[in-house]
A and B are shown apart, each in its own frame.
Chain A
Amino acid sequence: MPPSVIDMGAAARFREASSSERSAIFQEIFQAHRDQVFGLCFRLCGNTALAEDAAQETFVEVYKGLPHFRGEASLATWIYRVAMRTALRLRARARPVEQAPVDLPPVATADPEAALAARADMRVVQTALDALPAEQRVVVALFSVDGLSHGEIATILGVPEGTVWSRLHKGRKALAAALR
């Protein structure tokens, strides 16, 4: 089920539900946002173990915060905000060895040379992403989450859309420069 459908009433249902019903509603929210949250955390943390921790903490915060969620922003926007804050916090806290991008996902291609080149690119891009200032890193990471527009990213970050364009441009330019 797409996140937007889940957004429409899940938070309100969660608020009014009994504790046994809450688990089922939370399960729906978790299923709908799990991959996007993990993807965002992975790009911000650069490492699967740290990204898992960040995603897990995000959903714990979401579970605790849902009864107080008043719907000023969409549920997805709020969840991404929580994920972004959590991932940045965990990354800052992590020891340098934990921050190393050691476990990139496998590349789905039959050509071994292409796979090798793609993995090399991924490593360079992830390292360059890690080196970006937080503001740019967050915008690039949010942008690579499926289906998020500039407007939505601007809402998540609470900045004008032009600023999102500007930060995205600077960030992607730096990533492209790293691939020279």
Chain B
Amino acid sequence: MSEGFDPFDPDEWGDKTGCSAFETALEMRGRGALAPDAVAVLEVHLGVCDACRDHAARLGRVDASLAAAAAVPDARRLRGKMDDALKETRRRAPLMLVLAVFMMAVAIEVMFWIGGTPLLSLKALLLIFGMTLATSYLGLYIRARRLRRFLAETDVIGAYRQFLQGNIKALRMVPWTMILNVVIIAPNAQKAFQRYAVGVGRQGGYLILDLVSIVLIFVGVVSVWRQRRRMKAELKELH
């Protein structure tokens, strides 16, 4: 049966040969969508065709199994899990994210201070805070917009497939550009680390910042790679 097949069109019924038309008729009878005269024709056929009679019996078992598998959830446990997830969502409010990044910025400042270099001005701190706040909210806004647009699509599976394909394509080059960044900063990181390790010249925690950046970039590469792999698996699942 093709995707464009119209089961309500008797002309298309006429085109069918053998039992396939009766299989369709069985489906329609089960949904109460078969005219009484067609039901009579079907009953006559079922009386003489073992294959269709078996098929009808198996369809009945399929329906019974699907209905029995409509397991009622443990309401209290589901409610509890959902409440936990909602609390978790609230805990992960943007303000907390902003605060975490801000604390990281402060830690870097302290590293500078321990290294003997002057502490950055309050203006710089406020700038970092403002930028982090803005980027976090922008990220959340974009995500929310994409989510809303996605949910508004009529063909959800098709839209989700496109969404995954777009993301996989967009993420394809990301690890390579990240690795290029490592290549660019690696020579400087090596020199700075030598000064830090040997104790030559002005010392300070900032000397290992490039090295920390390289590690973070590699974490990012692995994360992007895993994300792509997960999305490819989802795409495969959608056939």
Q: Measured between C-beta atoms, what is the minimum distance from B153 to chain A in Å? A: 7
A60 CB-CB contact with B under 8 Å: yes
Q: How far is the CA of A127 from the CA of B64 in the complex (A)?
A: 15
Contact of A93 among B65, B152, B233 (CB under 8 A): B233
Whether B58 and A180, one on each chain, are in contact in the complex, defined by CB atoms closer than 8 angstroms, is yes
- Which residues of B from 110 to 154 have beta carbons under 8 Å from A? 144, 147-148, 150-154
Contact of A56 among B3, B85, B144, B151 (CB under 8 A): B85
Contact with A along B9-35 (1 / 0, CB 8 A): 000000000000001100100010000
Q: How far is the CA of A57 from the CA of B21 in the complex (A)?
A: 42
- Which residues of B from 171 to 210 have beta carbons under 8 Å from A? none
CB-CB under 8 A from B24, the residues of chain A are 169
Q: How far is the CA of A84 from the CA of B156 in the complex (A)?
A: 9
Using A55-B78, A162-B6, A166-B3 as known contacts, say yes or no to A92 and B151 having CB atoms under 8 A apart.
Answer: no
Q: Range of interface residues on chain A?
A: 35 or more
Contact of A118 among B7, B68, B78 (CB under 8 A): B68
Q: Measured between C-beta atoms, what is the minimum distance from A29 to chain B in Å? A: 12
Contact of A172 among B59, B89, B154 (CB under 8 A): B59
Contact with A along B48-92 (1 / 0, CB 8 A): 000000010011011011111111110101110110011001000
Q: How many A-B residue pairs have CB under 8 A?
A: 168
CB-CB under 8 A from A34, the residues of chain B are 73, 75, 78
Whether A158 and B85, one on each chain, are in contact in the complex, defined by CB atoms closer than 8 angstroms, is no
Chosen A-B contacts, 24 in total, with CB atoms closer than 8 Å, are: A34-B73, A34-B75, A35-B70, A38-B73, A39-B71, A56-B85, A60-B85, A61-B147, A64-B89, A93-B233, A104-B69, A105-B69, A121-B64, A134-B238, A145-B70, A157-B156, A158-B158, A169-B7, A169-B24, A172-B27, A176-B55, A176-B59, A177-B58, A179-B61
Whether A92 and B237, one on each chain, are in contact in the complex, defined by CB atoms closer than 8 angstroms, is yes
Whether B157 and A138, one on each chain, are in contact in the complex, defined by CB atoms closer than 8 angstroms, is yes
Contact of B157 among A126, A157, A166 (CB under 8 A): A157
